[in-house]
Structure 1
Amino acid sequence: MSAAHLCDRSPEVDPEELVTSMTPPPRFDRVRFDTYVPNENEPSQAAAVRACREFAERVAAPARAKSGWRRLFGGGDAEPHAPGLYLDGGFGVGKTHLLASLWHTVPGPAKAYGTFVELTHLVGALGFAEAVARLSQHRLLAIDEFELDDPGDTMLVTRLLRELTDAGVFVAATSNTLPDKLGEGRFAAEDFLREIHSMSARFTVVRVDGPDYRHRGLPDAPNPLSDVDLEASAATTPGSTVDGFAELCAHLARLHPSRYGRLVDEVTTVHLRQVEPVADEAVALRVVALVDRLYDRAIPVVVSGKPLSAIFTEEMLLGGYRKKYLRATSRLIALARDAAVHT
């Protein structure tokens, strides 16, 4: 039995599907506040649960008049609470768990959940006015992995959040970067300080501290397989794929990151042949986006070549995207460990 190849897939995602599919990914289908276990040594985690519960109650409360949000940012008497909740902290502390739990807690269908990449692609696919019209019908917009990687995103998202919060939409987001530090070290953020600060003013920031739970007390990642053993694993694992790492990286460049989730739909295990450290920033960011979609879907990863702990070069880890690369490495190692458990 020969395994399939991700490089043979070129999925398309209809704009309407982008809207209807804005729900938490499979890994977070069943998470709730009660299933989040705060680290006893990190009081900020229990405090974050309380803050998220309180925010969920505010979202579920009867809607305020839309003019109230305009008063908050356009003069007059300020509202007592910002319309946004921003979970800031390192990777592996359960921020996505809390965000998904918040989404699940808020009743009714008038809510949307997506990654930052998916949100910006939705705006591109529908057009700004139509995206605002659609999302304004929601009570809650939850945005995972919030980040501003270029000036265009800064302007787009600032305007989008202004329109939505003025329309009475609550926004909850997770990120590894404080809202007033977004874009720092990546582009000329000082040229966009007014926009960045305007956006950050719409959020109440809740810090979530702690070590990466994915590796707490667990062994290191499994050693890479030989090419022969990797091919044998792929051939005997129903629903798996096998691709050369370099070939897959090239294929990702031909797909918008919003399509990466569809790329790995119904895949049981991903096998990557001859993994090498990534030294190109554009390639590395595509790898990060793919890893996030694999992690969302709990798809194990098996590799040959270099260890996954070295998938990004030391130079890359010293740059402006350090936190993204460390999060992706953490998630990859967890997925590799999952693969070892099932073999």
Structure 2
Amino acid sequence: MPSRIARAYETRLKQGLLTRDPAQVGAVAALSRLEIDLGKRRLFGGAPQVTGVYLWGPPGRGKSILMDLFFADAPEPRKTRAHFHAFMARVHDLIRQWREGDRASRQRVFGTHRGDDPIEPVAALIASEARLLCFDELQVSDIADAMILGRLFDALFQKKVVVCITSNRAPDQLYRDGINRPLFTPFIDRIVEHCQVVALAGARDWRLDRMKASRVWFNGEDGARRTGFEQLWADLRGGMPECPAHLAVLGRDVVIARTAGGLARATFDQLCEAPLGPQDYLAIAERFHTLFIEDIPLLGPDRRQAARRFVTLIDALYEARTRLVAIAVGAPEQIYPAGDGAFEFERTVSRLNEMSSVSWLDQARPRE
């Protein structure tokens, strides 16, 4: 009998929601095996140790969609799905709570108060919440994450936690050229030991194909622009849950409320009326491969500061080769035709038109 994920995959192919890709066959088989293994129970001694799945390949090959299908029907009631950045942000927060907490607060959060090392109580808390952890877009660029991961996952695997991971990099390429990388390699060894590593390297980037088949600059007063914008967001998100992302910028916490993996979505006012600067925009551009901006208005001279911030934002996206999807009242040429900096804004108009072209989408490189 086919697994639940195999049936769900075939159903979406028949509905036209997915297009058959031979490169995905091996991934579906691996996730089917994991689904079956998760459903097994030892007669005595509880659940057996289960080998997870590490699914890697270039952006846009369907890794996240396949994980969504698997997670939805995985036969494990204690399961969690999160973007890897969100998971690590919580880990760092739990470590902080342990280190700063007194006996009572430690006991309340972790159920224990003993010891100086936070890794064991943090791992125990995570394992108590979920036997299955599904991580999307695992990447390691931060030395603080690199130093924690090996010991944390040692503890999680000892507690029989099972992981399902997607990444753009093979395990041995994680944190490549990073500071003190030898201290990180035990994490790679644990992943290879506890996961079936599957490459999903098909020739087609389905996310790019979807964007090229659509508009990415939606303007006008009719309701169709909103419908098209929302449909593209839904298609690219592919069922991934939305969650806030926290970006540490110069000691500040910059929050993007709506994100899904490498996708981010915010209004013009949230990005350009808020007191954000170049470093904030650079962090957004580096963190996300695609940014959706809602409700770009027509700006007059009285909103020159917002216009300047918009210029800085578009420069950051352009230099990082980040894809842009926008919904605006008018065409790029109409956004800021007069006022301080209007002449300089013409370069932004040129860049917006270029970023809406198929050639730009072909050249843009999503973040990992």
- Give the TM-score, by structure 2 length: 0.54
Deviation string, structure 1 residues 4-60 (Cα, Å, up to 9, x no partner): xxxxxxxxxxxxxxxxxxxxxxxxxxx9534554654x4221221121122112122
2:61 counterpart residue number: 93
Q: Classify 1:33/1:219 alpha carbon distance in 2 versus 1 (closer, same or farther; 3 Å).
A: closer
1-structure distance, mates of 2:121, 2:184: 25
Gap change, CA 1:308 and 1:107, over 3 Å in 2: farther
The equivalent of 1:24 in structure 2 is none
Give runs of aligned pairs for residues 149-164 of structure 1, distance below 5 A.
149-164=141-156
| Matches of 2:91 and 2:83, distance apart in 1 | 13
Q: Secondary structure at the match of 2:156?
A: helix
Distance 2:207 2:142 in 1: 30
Query: Contact between 1:224 and 1:307, CA under 8 Å: does it hold in 2?
Result: no
Residue 86 of structure 1 and its aligned partner are, at CA, apart by 0.5
2:162 maps to which of 167, 170, 189:
170
Change in Cα spacing, 1:97 to 1:155, as seen in structure 2 (3 Å) is: same
Residue of structure 2 equivalent to 1:59: 38
How many Å apart are 1:110 and its aligned residue? 0.5
The answer to whether the 8 Å contact 2:143/2:178 transfers is no
Partner of 1:260: 256
Which stretch shows the higher mean deviation, 127-136 or 93-102? 127-136
Question: Is the 8 Å Cα contact of residues 142 and 173 (structure 1) preserved in structure 2?
Answer: yes
Indicate the residue corresponding to 2:355 in structure 1. none
* 1:85 and 1:205 in contact (8 A); partners too: yes
| Residue of structure 2 aligned with 1:121, choices 67, 86, 89 | 89
- Say if 2:171 and 2:192, in contact at 8 Å, map to a contact too: yes
The 1-side partners of 2:259 and 2:63 are apart by 25
Where 1:148 maps in the other structure, the secondary structure is coil
SS in 1 for 2:144: helix
Q: Which residue of 1 aligns with 2:184?
A: 192
Equivalent pair of 1:146/1:173 in contact (CA under 8 Å): yes
Q: How far did 1:67 drift?
A: 10
Distance 1:221 1:39 in 2: 17
Alignment of 1:1-343 (within 5 A): 32-34=8-10, 37=13, 40=20, 42-62=21-41, 65=45, 69=49, 83-127=51-95, 128-137=119-128, 138-190=130-182, 192-210=184-202, 211-216=204-209, 219=212, 253=249, 256=253, 259-261=255-257, 270-271=267-268, 284-289=282-287, 301=294, 311-313=317-319, 329=322, 332-333=323-324, 335-336=325-326, 339=327
Contact 1:136 1:167 in 2 (8 A): yes
Q: 2: CA distance between counterparts of 1:133 and 1:44?
A: 37
Query: What does the per-residue CA deviation read over 1:295-317, in whole Å, with 9 as the maximum and x for residues that have no partner?
Result: xxxx665667599798242xx6x
Q: What letter corresponds to residue 89 of structure 2 in structure 1?
A: H
TM-score of the superposed pair, with normalisation by structure 1: 0.57
- Distance across 2 between alignment mates of 1:56 and 1:183: 29
Aligned pairs, number:
250
Residues 210-255 of structure 1, C-alpha deviation per residue, up to 9 Å, x if partnerless?
2211232754885869xxx89x99xx98xx9xxxxxxxxxx97365
Give percent identity, aligned residues only. Answer: 22
- Matched letter for residue 84 of structure 1: G
Compare 187-196 and 100-109 and name the one that shifted more: 187-196
Q: Is the 8 A contact 1:122 1:131 kept in 2?
A: no
Which amino acid in 2 is paired with 1:50? A
